[in-house]
Structure 1
Amino acid sequence: MTQYLVTTFKDSIGHVHPHVTAAKPNQTFTVVEAESKEEAIKIMEVKYNENNYN
């Protein structure tokens, strides 16, 4: 089944705008909480390594 990433933002007058992106066949979406892009990458590297070595 295809994954979809749905993001929303609120403009300056309060209207909410959704944006939907479909994952390509060789792509997945994962949400992580991090303070920076670099931290998010490190978190994903750890998760990837845990999944491939267990």
Structure 2
Amino acid sequence: HPVAGDKIYGREFDNLTRQFLHSAVLQFSHPDTAKRVKYEAPLPGDISQFLNFC
């Protein structure tokens, strides 16, 4: 499926200036220590505003 905001394969939106794509959580085992590593990122403001606009 195309990603919203993708100028080549998806649909462009006036209020969205980039691809509507975000990774909230990235988790993996560290290759050297085997410990679980977890990174979390809040939803970016532009995507949050776009969702509130809809």
TM beyond 0.5 = no
TM-score relative to the length of structure 1: 0.36
TM-score relative to the length of structure 2: 0.36
Of Structure 1 and Structure 2, which has the larger fraction of its residues in helix?
1
Of Structure 1 and Structure 2, which has the larger fraction of its residues in strand?
1
